[in-house]
Amino acid sequence: MAAQDNGITLVEAVTQALAFELKNDPQVVVFGQDIGANGGVFRATDGLQKTYGADRVLDTPLAETMIAGIAVGMATQGLRPIAEFQFMGFIYPGLDHILSHAARMRNRTRGRLSCPIVYRAPYGGGIHAPEHHSESTEAMFTHIPGLRVVVPSSPARAYGLLLAAIRDPDPVLFLEPKRIYRAAKQPVPDDGEALPLDRAFVLREGADLTLVAWGASIKETLAAAEQLSREGIEADVIDPATLKPLDIHTIIDSLEKTRRCVIVHEAARFGGLGAEIAAQIQEYAFDLLDAPVQRVTGYDAVMPYYQLENAYLPGVERILAGARAALEYVRDSGE
């Protein structure tokens, strides 16, 4: 699939990466409910079964436990399975296989077996979906030893990071921010070039503030950075992209310039990944800080239905408020 002159969307970049690997690696197998004939609920696998056949692009029943489990069996026997969950909210029946088997296979077999699986799942809110269709529980999965968690935030990063995830010898949870599946287009050469895992991307540079966000929240975070720039405040915008293992070094490098940080995510605040990043900043870079780390997050509540989802998701105004709290903080000297 060639990139169009006017670019492709994030979901089209996912399709492009899957097609590239299906074409070039005969061990790659793609499966999930309705991903074959129908091309998946978001059409991420559209046309792949027709091109590569039903023995490599397989429809399964709506049985997430089975989808997660047969991926482990395939991976330990030499295949490179890519399993799709229709929504992140449906992944939990498969959690036992992901946590108890895929993530610890290398350790359990003392390196004799690895588990090169990619578990794909659309995640996050903002598309007016019903309950269980707007989950953002990435922090829970980052707590699992042996499991890499990756979240792209643009078509180019979706293509490059998915290629890297498929080629990785260990299991990867690849969370696709469905709110921006079709939000923007970008030229993405179909050249098979992977992007590095475990490395953050600096999307915008500035010396006054560090903004850290991932997934769909990058959209509002970049908009907030643009607004701040019009006010004479320049912000680094950092997309960790790989949430586990986390590239804390790039964030700390930024703090050496800015000394103030705001972390943005749409997941619930309590125990969210923002808390882990803030803790690591405190642990490794406390002396760099001129202000407490601010978090702009979702709330400790179930993601609401569409009438309230925009109030739940961190918008530009809430990010600006967090930024101003960090910028205006003045340490009390106690004198």
Rounded to whole angstroms, how far apart are CA atoms 291 and 281?
A: 12
Rounded to whole angstroms, how far apart are CA atoms 107 and 95?
A: 18
Active-site residue (options: 97, 101, 132, 133): 133
**DSSP β-ladder status, 294-298 and 261-268:** parallel
Closest CA to 223 of 184, 260, 197, 251: 184
Rounded to whole angstroms, how far apart are CA atoms 224 and 317?
A: 8
Terminal CA-CA length for the chain: 66
Rounded to whole angstroms, how far apart are CA atoms 159 and 163?
A: 6
Instruction: For residue 232, give the amino acid letter.
Output: G
Q: Which two tokens stand for residue 186?
A: 């970008």
DSSP calls for 82-102? EEE-SSGGG-GGGHHHIIIII
Residue 268 backbone dihedrals phi, psi, to 5 degrees: -55, 150
Instruction: For residue 61, give the amino acid letter.
Output: P
Rounded to whole angstroms, how far apart are CA atoms 14 and 10?
A: 6
Q: Which two tokens stand for residue 53?
A: 């056949």
* DSSP count for the chain of H helices, then E strands: 12, 12
Closest CA to 252 of 267, 241, 238: 238
Q: What contacts 144, CB < 8 A, 6 or more positions away?
A: 98, 99, 103
Helix axes 217-230, 316-328, angle to 10 degrees: 50
Rounded to whole angstroms, how far apart are CA atoms 43 and 45?
A: 5
Q: Does the active-site annotation cover 143?
A: no
Residues marked active site are found at 133
